[in-house]
Chains A and B, each alone.
Chain A
Amino acid sequence: MKQFAKILKFELKGYLRNKIFVGITIFLIVAIAIVMFIPNIIAAFQSDDDGEAITTDLPTMLIYAEDENLSAIVSEYFGNTFVEYNVKVAGGSLDDVKNEITSGFAECAFVMNSASSYTYYVNNLSMYDSNTAIADTVLQEVYRINAMMQNGLTPEQVGEIMSVQIVSSTETLGKDQMQNFFYTYIMIFALYMVILLYGQMVATNVATEKSSRAMEVLITSAKPTSMMFGKVLASCIAGFSQLVLVFGTAILLYNVNKNALSNPLIASIFDIPLELFIYLIVFFVLGFLIYAFMFGAIGSTASKLEDINTSVMPITFLFIIAFMVVMFSMSSGSVDNTAMLVCSYIPFTSPMAMFTRICMSTVAWYEIFISIAILIGSTIGIGVLSAKIYRVGVLLYGTPPKISTILKTVFKKQ
């Protein structure tokens, strides 16, 4: 136990003195701070400008119709709807309109064939161009208003019909996927990044000790179990502190800038319920540990640092598959599909899968309990096994042995 504490202390000190580790942490904190202050900064600049000369830089949208009456009506409605455009009635011929677009003077043009038929001209059609959809809605409205007026309704009656308000409310009895989506997404992504990053760090750390032959002294000075658990817990503490610092800064600065950051989307990220926060920590720590142990064991079988990347590939693949299953299920909106149900009990996938299901669906307490119990048991088992692999692995030099050969050696000893 004393040895374990010494190893933990030494490894943690190593992280704190690692310039890259400290650099990344500071960079992330500064980046978060900038993002959080951006609305305030923009607001400050905007208040100076007082909204002057906003229209000057707007792109031009041309309306062209042979019937001048039609072009006047459409440009009036479009002018009110397309506020991000400077809507103008085009004179001249259709070719003049096309020229103005290709020369860059105007961005797009609606050439009206009739009140309910038009051709949309644009130079490069953007993936996100929704102008035609908006135009369709506006023109339908114009058509309906005209039709109603022609059928003898007064403008007041038409106004009343068109402006009818539908009152609705949604009562969520389970989980609100919309609201939980973003923080689940962020947490799963953070888990993914941290596990891969720190797992790789643990593997490299072990392989460095081996390749520098410091292992020769270490293995004769400390128990492999202490070495493995010390290293992995140190990386866990380092990774967790980094996250706490980064997310802590984010939460703190969010509260400082709460008024400027009134966006409900951002608010939903920070309004994580305490219960979910506790689950997050449990799954995070266990998921981190189980992978870090595997990475450590793999690191011990590599003789050279160059071997690490190929050696860790099976674990990385396993992890990426888990990540993909969760991400696809999240975006499809059905987090309770069969793949997710299975994944929430497999210890290598449950940290992400079960956490996502808890966040975005309704999961019975015993399901969560079983999943966590399996995960805890497996983490301890993998930890002990990885320490055994470590003891065999660190003394083997040359071509990295097959994992099956090592396991055979480990179990033969017992």
Chain B
Amino acid sequence: MILELKNIDKSFGEKEVLKGVTFTAEGGKAFGLLGRNGAGKTTSIRILMNVFPANSGEVFIDGKPIDYDKIGIGYLPEERGLYPKKIIIDQLVYFAELKGMNTKDAVKSVDYWLERLGMTEYRNKRLDTLSKGNQQKIQLITALAHNPDIVILDEPFSGLDPVNAMLLKDVVKEQISKGKIVLFSSHQMSYIEEFCDSIAIINAGKVAISGDLHEIKRNYVRDKLVVSTTNPEQIKADLGNSCFKRDDGTLLIQLGTPDEKQAMMKRLVENYDIDEVKVFEPSLNDIFVEYAGEKI
């Protein structure tokens, strides 16, 4: 299954929030939707979920306009919250029913998920009696209980302890392995790097870059070298402003052009005591800062 957002424009009053947002996410893979606060991620998600219509552009599934009666979407919003005063099983079943399940199946599915997330003992308790992390697990069930085709998780790991984060990772991997489209939105780049095969970075309502994460990294301009050496100070003194010392003690050397790579490597190996020299591969964090950083 392939989900496509094509040329989505959206304005609220005079303010243009999305300008031609386009990206593609595939089933069986996780997709990371990145962007700074206010970049337009939540608006894109809401349009995808048909909360409000786009001014122009369309959402497609396998090349056809999406039919919301047939495609189930599960959503874990960034702003968590359910009914604090209501019994957990009642509200979970209610949300599953709203998504089109019958009562019997809804109860069965909710019970499965309560068991799976170790929450069965809270089944008949009020939500506000639970800790924040446990409330978050209950909220996750609202996104998964109706067995959706598309799972949208907005900052799923925030507020979870390492054990619960591990449990959530397993659940997410399981959803991916079932062939579902898992759409992540997060500022925690390590999780996105761990799960997502492809990403889109939205900046000021436009897609700044999108596609396969490995390809994005590979296509990154290869004009920096990372050098591990016993005498960094001397190299730094010799190369001047084009050399920076990194937090881990290695050096980052900025080349004039990528073509200077071979010559610089040779020069370093011949003149200094070098442990390792390699072309700098950016982390997702570096890519994010570059594409989402300054243009707002």
Contacts and interface: CB of A to CB of B under 8 A. Distances in A.
Interface of A: 2-3, 6-7, 10, 13-14, 209, 212-222, 391, 395, 409, 413
Nearest to B154: A216
A217 B51 CA distance: 11
Given A13-B90, A391-B52, A409-B13, A216 B77 contact: yes
Taking each of A2, A10, A217, which has the highest tally of chain B beta carbons within 10 Å of its own beta carbon?
A217
Contacts of B49: 220
B73 A220 contact: yes
B77 A217 contact: yes
B75 interface: yes
B13 A217 contact: no
B79 interface: yes
A217 B90 contact: no
A218 B73 CA distance: 13
Nearest to A391: B52
A13 to B, nearest CB: 7
Which residue, of B46, B49, B95, has the highest number of chain A Cβ atoms within 10 A?
B95
Nearest to B53: A413
A212 B84 contact: yes
B223 to A, nearest CB: 44
Nearest to A213: B81
B193 interface: no
Contacts of A222: 98
Given A3-B98, A6-B94, A217 B142 contact: yes
B82 interface: yes
A216 B81 contact: yes
Contacts of B52: 391, 395
15 contacts: A6-B94, A6-B97, A10-B90, A14-B86, A212-B83, A213-B80, A215-B81, A217-B75, A217-B77, A217-B95, A220-B75, A220-B77, A221-B98, A409-B12, A409-B13
A3 B94 CA distance: 10
B284 to A, nearest CB: 27
B99 interface: yes
A212 B80 CA distance: 8
B80 A221 contact: no
A395 B10 CA distance: 15
A213 B79 contact: yes
Interface string B19-57: 000000000000000000000000000100101110000
A212 B98 contact: no
A240 B162 CA distance: 51
B51 A10 contact: no
A304 to B, nearest CB: 13
Size bin of chain B's contact surface: 20 to 34
Contacts of A220: 46, 49, 51, 73, 75, 77
B51 A395 contact: yes
Given A6-B97, A212-B82, A221-B95, 5 more contacts: A209-B83, A217-B75, A221-B99, A395-B51, A413-B53
Interface of B: 12-13, 46, 49, 51-53, 73, 75, 77, 79-84, 86, 90, 94-95, 97-100, 139, 142
A214 B90 contact: no
Contacts of B84: 212
Nearest to A217: B142
Q: Which 5 A-B pairs have the closest CB atoms?
A: A213-B81, A216-B77, A221-B98, A213-B79, A212-B81
Contacts of B75: 216-217, 220
Nearest to B55: A413
B82 A214 contact: yes
A409 B11 CA distance: 11
A268 B84 CA distance: 48
A12 to B, nearest CB: 12
Nearest to A222: B98
Nearest to B78: A216
Nearest to B81: A213
Contacts of B46: 220, 395
Contacts of B81: 212-217
A218 to B, nearest CB: 8
B77 A213 contact: yes
Contacts of B82: 212, 214, 217
Nearest to B98: A221
B203 to A, nearest CB: 23
Contacts of B12: 409
Nearest to A3: B98
B200 to A, nearest CB: 20
Contacts of A409: 12-13
Contacts of A2: 100
A13 B12 CA distance: 37
B83 A214 contact: yes
A331 to B, nearest CB: 43
Nearest to A412: B13
Contacts of A209: 83
Q: A3, A213, A222, A391: which has the most chain B beta carbons within 10 Å?
A: A213
A395 B77 CA distance: 13
Contacts of B95: 217, 221
Contacts of B13: 409
A216 B75 CA distance: 9
A52 to B, nearest CB: 58
Contacts of B99: 221
B94 A10 contact: yes
A131 B84 CA distance: 63
Nearest to A397: B79
A414 B119 CA distance: 45
A7 B98 contact: yes
B238 to A, nearest CB: 56
Nearest to B102: A2
Q: Which one of A13, A220, A391, A413 has the greatest number of beta carbons of chain B within 10 Å?
A: A220
Nearest to B96: A221
Contacts of B86: 14
A7 B142 CA distance: 16
Contacts of A6: 94, 97-98
